[in-house]
């Protein structure tokens, strides 16, 4: 199994894990946590290949070792031994690219090409924004492999520039290795313009949240468009106005963006300006309110809307916050219902992985029943096809549509 050379030859890093972890690995779970490692032949370095053996001392799996992460090994392959090298990664890249073929036509030039573990690339995502690709890593294990994967990406997508980003928890390690990925392009800091179902958006691929835009909500935005005709719309936690643009194109006479960030609201205004060529968007009255959404919803009961979108950031960053987040979702949805006009539609979303889909839907339905108003559940939604999830911890996005 090939990997970047180490300064000093060392025996292969060998691990054995608990019986429970072995069972999870065979079932396809891509993570081995530190407390599941019961035997290790030596210390390992970030990005080194760790070979896992079962209780019969037979090959079980191979993955990236990360000594600084609670996820000690991120599984790359389970089954029979094989080489983890450039050809292995090239094949993985091609499989991920082919999985997206046919999903989008030329009216959409922004979508996910690699969705981490679910595409066999643990701790790494690759997003397309027109001719710009954003490569983002969430584990230091990938740092020593950037020189291998960068030419693979360029060869598969030759007309695209690559922007490299990493999560905050590994910024120090990434900065220390900056020379290793100098070949990655960094041409300018201007916003990248891309299309989503024909609507133009800007993406801050250098400093914006995630990789510059919330590509995972594409299908929910399209659904909101289908409900928007003739409805006044409130987009709470509006960020750069994605739901608002779709609602405007769908025939909403007015949309109100509500967000605590001035920067986000200004981005939404620029996105509206990018689409003035669309008659429906140009005709829609666009209002911006800079305020904490929870506080504004609690203090402006007189404002009523026909369609409300509640898409807050994650309310549970860790498992210990799960119970509080469920209560917060119910409180938020209750507040949103209070602003709905008769016949209005509420769209509530959650991106908290620590709150299960069923827990979120139960909270939303509980808030709806507690309102004392008659309601109809129109539908629920999950992950977009380019953000498919293959294991429980990857299932974070859910939405529910309620009409009152």
Contact 232, 254 (CB under 8 A): yes
DSSP E strands in 124-245: the ranges are: 124-129, 132-137, 161-166, 192-196, 199-203, 232-236
Domain segments of the chain as ranges = 13-78, 86-192, 214-403
What pLDDT does residue 173 have? 83
What pLDDT does residue 171 have? 87
pLDDT in tens, 170-199: 988 887 665 544 334 455 567 899 999 999
- The residue assigned the tokens 């779970």 is 29
What pLDDT does residue 178 have? 53
Q: Which CATH class is domain 86-192?
A: alpha beta
CA distance linking residue 109 with residue 128, whole number of Å: 7
Phi, psi (rounded to 5 degrees) for 403:
-110, 135
Using CA atoms of 357, 98, 52, 34 in order, give the dihedral in degrees to the nearest 10: -40
Q: Which CATH class is domain 13-78?
A: mainly beta
CA distance linking residue 121 with residue 130, whole number of Å: 22
Contact 307, 246 (CB under 8 A): no
The token duo for 166 is: 């990493």
What pLDDT does residue 198 have? 98
What pLDDT does residue 103 have? 97
pTM (whole model) above 0.95: no
When the pLDDT of each residue in the chain is averaged and rounded to a whole number, the result is: 94
What pLDDT does residue 4 have? 53
What pLDDT does residue 184 have? 46
Phi, psi (rounded to 5 degrees) for 213:
-165, 160
What pLDDT does residue 130 have? 97
- Distances in whole angstroms, Cα of residue 325 to Cα of each of 101, 352, 360, 392, 393: 37, 8, 9, 18, 17
For the domain covering 214-403, report its CATH number.
3.40.50.150
Q: Is 120 exposed, middle or buried (0-12, 13-18, 19+ CB in 10 A)?
A: buried
What pLDDT does residue 354 have? 96
Ranges of residues in the chain with a pLDDT under 70 are: 1-9, 176-189
The token duo for 202 is: 């800007």
Contact 48, 68 (CB under 8 A): no
3-class SS at 134?
strand
């Amino acid at each position: 199994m090939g990997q970047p050379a180490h300064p000093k030859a060392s025996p292969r890093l060998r691990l054995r894990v608990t019986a429970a972890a072995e069972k999870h690995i065979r079932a396809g779970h891509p993570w081995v946590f530190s407390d599941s490692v019961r035997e290790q032949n030596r210390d390992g370095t970030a990005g080194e290949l760790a070979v896992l053996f079962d209780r019969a001392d037979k090959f079980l799996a191979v993955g990236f070792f990360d000594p600084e992460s609670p996820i000690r090994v991120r599984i790359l392959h389970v089954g029979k031994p094989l080489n983890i090298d450039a050809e292995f990664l090239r094949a993985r890249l091609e499989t991920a690219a082919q999985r997206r073929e046919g999903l989008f036509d030329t009216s959409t030039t922004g979508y996910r090409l690699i969705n981490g573990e679910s595409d066999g690339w643990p701790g790494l995502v690759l997003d397309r924004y027109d001719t710009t690709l954003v490569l983002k890593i969430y584990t230091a294990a990938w740092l020593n492999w950037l020189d291998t994967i960068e030419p693979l990406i360029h060869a598969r997508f030759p007309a695209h520039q690559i922007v490299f980003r990493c999560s905050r928890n590994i910024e120090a390690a990434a900065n220390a290795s900056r020379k290793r990925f100098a070949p990655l392009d960094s041409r300018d800091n201007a916003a990248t313009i891309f299309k989503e179902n024909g609507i133009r958006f800007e993406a801050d691929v250098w400093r914006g949240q995630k990789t510059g835009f919330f590509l995972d909500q594409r299908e929910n935005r399209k659904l909101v468009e289908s409900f928007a005709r003739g409805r006044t719309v409130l987009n709470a936690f509006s960020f750069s106005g994605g739901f608002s643009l779709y609602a405007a194109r769908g025939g909403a006479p007015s949309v109100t963006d509500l967000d605590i960030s001035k920067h986000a609201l200004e981005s939404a205004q620029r996105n509206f300006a990018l689409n003035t060529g669309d008659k429906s968007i140009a005709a829609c009255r666009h209002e911006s309110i800079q305020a904490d959404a929870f506080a504004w919803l609690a203090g402006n009961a007189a404002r009523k809307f026909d369609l409300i979108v509640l898409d807050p950031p994650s309310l549970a960053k860790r498992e210990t916050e799960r119970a509080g987040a469920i209560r917060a979702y119910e409180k938020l949805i209750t507040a949103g219902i209070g602003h709905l006009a008769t016949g209005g539609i509420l769209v509530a979303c959650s991106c908290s992985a620590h709150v299960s889909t069923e827990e979120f839907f139960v909270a939303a339905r509980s808030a709806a029943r507690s309102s004392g108003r008659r309601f109809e559940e129109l539908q629920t939604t999950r992950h977009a096809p380019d953000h498919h999830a293959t294991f429980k911890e990857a299932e974070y996005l859910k939405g529910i549509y309620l009409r009152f």
